[in-house]
Amino acid sequence: MASQVCKSASRAARSLLSASKASRFHSQGRAVGAAAAVSLSAKGPLLFSNYGRGGSGSGSASSWISGALALPAAAYMFQDQEVHAAELERTFIAIKPDGVQRGLISEIISRFERKGYKLVGIKVVIPSKEFAKQHYHDLKERPFFDGLCDFLSSGPVIAMVWEGQGVITYGRKLIGATDPQKSEPGTIRGDLAVVVGRNIIHGSDGPETAKDEIKLWFKPEELVRFSSTAEKWIYGSN
């Protein structure tokens, strides 16, 4: 009897799953999942991006849409945004001492900002050599490791955390290839750097590295969570 119930339940789940590929069920399912996850940390009514950790959300649905006529639209945008909240991620980006000394801080920040990514943590740090070694620990066997760590600890670094959909992978695209001789024009290294030893910027290369590097450089309370009014124009689907 129990196994019959299990079998029919799993059949039902399978058919729902395949149906979801071609229907709205999929996005509704994700929206419900996201809403459940988000409401654990939200302190007030949910607006666009009450996700992640630290800080506090702000605003309320009634502050930007009011009146009975607006309700169906509000409900639609609310659900739509929840889908996107579930997909957002964070990466660690650092402007190295050469980028700082060359006055490229605002240029580099503006490329991430104009793309639509959100700055959720930033500070100026002169890392110790020990700290630099920790940051670059996966390169410790490489012949340039010692010089690289000397260089990273030679002056101010702008340490940042950027947030947005696909920011880890796309952040690396904005940065360009490790060797600026091979970076495409239009990328940060392609446009602004010439040699590999002075390639001005660091970016996490994957989800695990991003998590580890954010943890190494920032305390959780140094990262903020806030709703940007631009988000409803950056994220959305039709």
Annotated binding site for ATP: 96, 144, 172, 178, 189, 199
Question: What 8-state DSSP symbol labels residue 81?
Answer: H
Structure tokens at 192: 């602004």
Tell me the CA distances in angstroms from 95 to 28, 46, 92, 123, 160, one per residue in order. Answer: 40, 34, 10, 11, 8
Q: How far is the CB of 121 from ligand DAT (least distance, A)?
A: 20
Q: Which long-range contacts (CB under 8 A, 24 or more apart) does 15-20 make?
A: none
Give the residue nearest to ligand DAT (CB): 178
Q: How far is the CB of 123 from Mg ion (least distance, A)?
A: 20
Spatial contact of 167 and 90, defined as CB atoms under 8 Å apart: yes
Catalytic residue among 26, 84, 135, 202: 202
- The neighbour count for residue 216, using CB atoms within 10 Å, is 14
Q: Does 187 bind ligand DAT (CB under 6 A)?
A: no
Catalytic status, residue 135: no
Q: Applying CB under 6 A, what is the total number of residues that bind ligand DAT?
A: 9
Spatial distance between the Cα atoms of 235 and 166, rounded to a whole number of angstroms: 12
Instruction: Give, as ranges, the residues between 163 and 222 that touch Mg ion (CB under 5 A).
Output: 205
Q: Which is nearer to ligand DAT, 37 or 191 (CB)?
A: 191
- Which of ligand DAT, Mg ion, none is residue 118 near (CB under 5 to 8 Å by kind)? none
The verdict on 148 binding ligand DAT (CB under 6 A) reads: yes
Q: Does 144 bind ligand DAT (CB under 6 A)?
A: yes
Which residues fall in the annotated binding site? 96, 144, 172, 178, 189, 199
CB 197, min distance to ligand DAT, A: 5
HEC profile of 16-67? HHHHHHCCCHHHHHHHHHHHHHHHCCCCCCCCCCCCCCCCCCCCCHHHHCCC
**Which of 35, 42, 196, 224: binder of ligand DAT (CB under 6 A)?**
196
Cβ–Cβ < 8 Å for 57, 225: yes
- Please list every residue from 104 through 133 that binds ligand DAT, using CB under 6 A: none
Judged by CB, which is closer to ligand DAT: 34, or 148? 148
- What the block records as the tokens of 57 is 């959300």
178 near ligand DAT, rule: CB under 6 A: yes
Extract the tokens encoding 116: 């639509």
- Regarding 197 and contact with ligand DAT (CB under 6 A), the answer is yes
Query: What region does 138 belong to: left with phi over 0, alpha with psi -120 to 50, or beta?
Result: alpha
Which is nearer to Mg ion, 107 or 205 (by Cβ)? 205
| DSSP 8-state symbol, 125 | E
Applying CB under 6 A, the residues found at the interface with ligand DAT are: 139, 144, 148, 178, 196-197, 199, 202, 205
* Residues annotated catalytic, as ranges: 202
Applying CB under 5 A, the residues found at the interface with Mg ion are: 205
